[in-house]
Amino acid sequence: MTPKTLIIAVAVLAILWAGVLPFSDRTSFTVHMVVHMGVVAIAAPLFALALSGSQYDFSSGSAWITPLLASVLELFAVWGWHVPAMRALSETSVVVAAIEQLVFFGAGLTLWLACLGGGTADRKERRLAGVFGLLFTSMHMTLLGALLALAPRPLYGSGEVSCFGVSLTATMDQHAGGVVMLLVGAIVYLGGGIALLAGALEEKAPFTGKLRR
């Protein structure tokens, strides 16, 4: 376990859950998306890095927790909670909102631990599978973000909202939230997949043999 990384991860989660959510307009889709992406794309990978290989790494020894399965689980979590009816429930109920955040965090942590965690024996295989898991996640988050950013009419609410003190129409707010998801999903998950691939390639021993004449 890496204490410094764990402290940073806890601090990020505390800022999002105890700072941003309680003191912002929860009906703002952009506020929701900033918190959502902060949880799954910043806090979750930091927790995974801190817990990887420790006794709290639940992916270690669990061969069924694969990056691809975890990516599919996150797909259902992300797309499911962005169904308009589910968003409406989350905006009006503190209990539902708390469950939503826990699902996001659980799905995100499972995905990143599936890619970064595991035992030393299967770590290299997990890294390679993690490349595909993170790239798939990047694809489905980018797709959802693009759909929300380009939608001609608002799917969530109809009146004006306060987005970090800025008044936005429902359409503008949804488009801004979609852009947040589009950019963060593309950068973090695509970058994570590329980093895993680069790391796997570096682990290969260089060829040191000499050609014989």
Question: C-alpha angle 138/144/148, rounded to 5°?
Answer: 140
Report how far residue 42's alpha carbon sits from residue 14's, in angstroms, rounded to the nearest whole number: 12
Task: Please report the pLDDT score of residue 185 as a whole number.
Answer: 86
**pLDDT value at residue 207:** 46
* Contact between 25 and 163 (Cβ < 8 Å): yes
Dihedrals φ, ψ of 156, to 5°?
-125, 105
Give the strand pairing for 166-168 and 161-163. Answer: antiparallel
Q: Which pLDDT score, from 0 to 100, does residue 15 have?
A: 96
Instruction: Give the pLDDT confidence score for residue 171 in this predicted structure.
Output: 94
Please give the pLDDT value at position 59: 82
Q: Looking at this protein, which amino acid is placed at residue 197?
A: L
Q: What's the pLDDT score for residue 1?
A: 65
Plot region of 53 (φ>0 → left; ψ -120 to 50 → alpha; else → beta): left
Spell out the per-residue pLDDT of the chain, length 213, in tens.
Answer: 678 999 999 999 999 999 999 999 989 999 999 999 999 999 999 999 999 888 888 887 777 888 999 999 999 999 999 999 999 999 999 999 999 999 999 999 999 999 887 665 566 777 888 899 999 999 999 999 999 999 999 999 888 999 998 999 999 999 999 999 999 988 999 999 898 888 777 765 454 444 444
Sign of the torsion formed by the C-alpha atoms of 94, 76, 180 and 158: negative
- Return the axis-axis angle of helices 123-150 and 170-184, rounded to nearest 10°: 160
Position 124 scores a pLDDT of 73
- Asked whether the beta carbons of 168 and 160 are under 8 A apart, the reply is yes
**Distances from the Cα of 85 to the Cα of 75, 78, 136, 159, 186, angstroms:** 17, 14, 26, 17, 26
* pLDDT (0 to 100) of residue 54: 83
Burial class (CB in 10 A: 0-12, 13-18, 19+), 16: buried
Contact (Cβ atoms closer than 8 angstroms) between residue 144 and residue 33: no
In this prediction, residue 208 carries a pLDDT of 47
